[in-house]
A and B are shown apart, each in its own frame.
Chain A
Amino acid sequence: QVQLQESGPGLVKPSQTLSLTCTVSGGSISSGSYYWSWIRQPAGKGLEWIGRIYTSGSTNYNPSLKSRVTISVDTSKNQFSLKLSSVTAADTAVYYCAREDIAVNWFDPWGQGTLVTVSS
């Protein structure tokens, strides 16, 4: 079955850019039925949708983060990536990648999540 795995630095300095990659296995990221999404969760808090990308490269972003977020896809590697610029301590969170159904917007499966800490 499809599995997702996040990777990237666990520590980022304030004002720098957070970069994460999600590798998809067991299925093709080029499937036309899904978006590929990023979601984050600060410690002890709820889930926040960051944004998503379609295999064509079309993106949607959470307006609260839109000015700082870029999501891209590399179909040859079956990966999609997240870049979040000008990070602050408020961006410290567990970052998840997930597959999102295009038609009815459920998220499944999810990656295991990766903790990114913003600190000098």
Chain B
Amino acid sequence: QSALTQPASVSGSPGQSITISCTGTSSDVGGYNYVSWYQQHPGKAPKLMIYEVSNRPSGVSNRFSGSKSGNTASLTISGLQAEDEADYYCSSYTSSSTYVVFGGGTKLTVL
């Protein structure tokens, strides 16, 4: 069982927007702005998409955005494209002895 809770799957049509949630506790997501999001295509390594809750690395499309409210962080993808179909993982610093926690991952299907 993952420390952070994500929906197993989400879907949307091209051009639409979707949001993926990532729920933790006050010891991780809620207590620190150190949430990051990763995109993983089949057979590939994860790619950093969002860091520090809402910052985009250079080269990541501005269709990807992040936010946080309380113990829940969210990744929003606007203007869905076929290439966005992938697994998405959230991660957070945690004050517990595990140091780093990941979500269980969300499979995004572009219909």
Q: Say whether B36 contacts A46, CB under 8 Å.
A: no
Bound-state Cα–Cα, A14 to B99, Å: 28
Give the complex CA separation of A62 and B2 in angstroms: 13
Question: Contact between A107 and B36 (Cβ–Cβ < 8 Å)?
Answer: yes
Q: B100 touching A106 by the CB < 8 A rule?
A: no
Which residues of chain A are near B91, meaning CB under 8 Å? 47, 105-107
What is the chain B residue whose CB lies nearest that of A50?
B100
Q: Give every chain B residue within 8 A of A48 (Cβ-Cβ).
A: 102
Q: For the complex, give the distance between the alpha carbons of A84 and B48 in Å.
A: 26
Chain B residues with CB under 8 A of A96: 45-46
Assess whether A47 is in contact with B102, with CB atoms less than 8 Å apart.
yes
Chain A residue with the shortest CB-CB distance to B106: A46
B34 CB, nearest partner CB in chain A, Å? 5
Chain A residues with CB under 8 Å of B92's CB are: 105
The listed residue (B38, B45, B52, B100) touching A113 by CB distance below 8 A is: B45
* Interface check B98, CB cutoff 8 A: yes
Given B2, B51, B57, which contacts A46 in the complex, CB threshold below 8 Å?
Answer: B2
Q: Choose among A47, A62, A64, A111 the residue with the greatest number of B CB atoms under 10 Å from its CB.
A: A47
CB distance B34 to A105 under 8 Å?
yes
| Any B CB within 8 A of the CB of A60 | yes
Q: Can you offer 13 A-B residue contacts whose CB atoms are under 8 A?
A: A37-B100, A46-B102, A46-B103, A47-B102, A49-B98, A63-B97, A96-B46, A105-B36, A106-B91, A107-B38, A107-B91, A108-B57, A110-B46
Residues on B lying within 8 angstroms of A by beta carbon are 2, 33-34, 36, 38, 44-48, 51-52, 57, 89, 91-93, 97-105
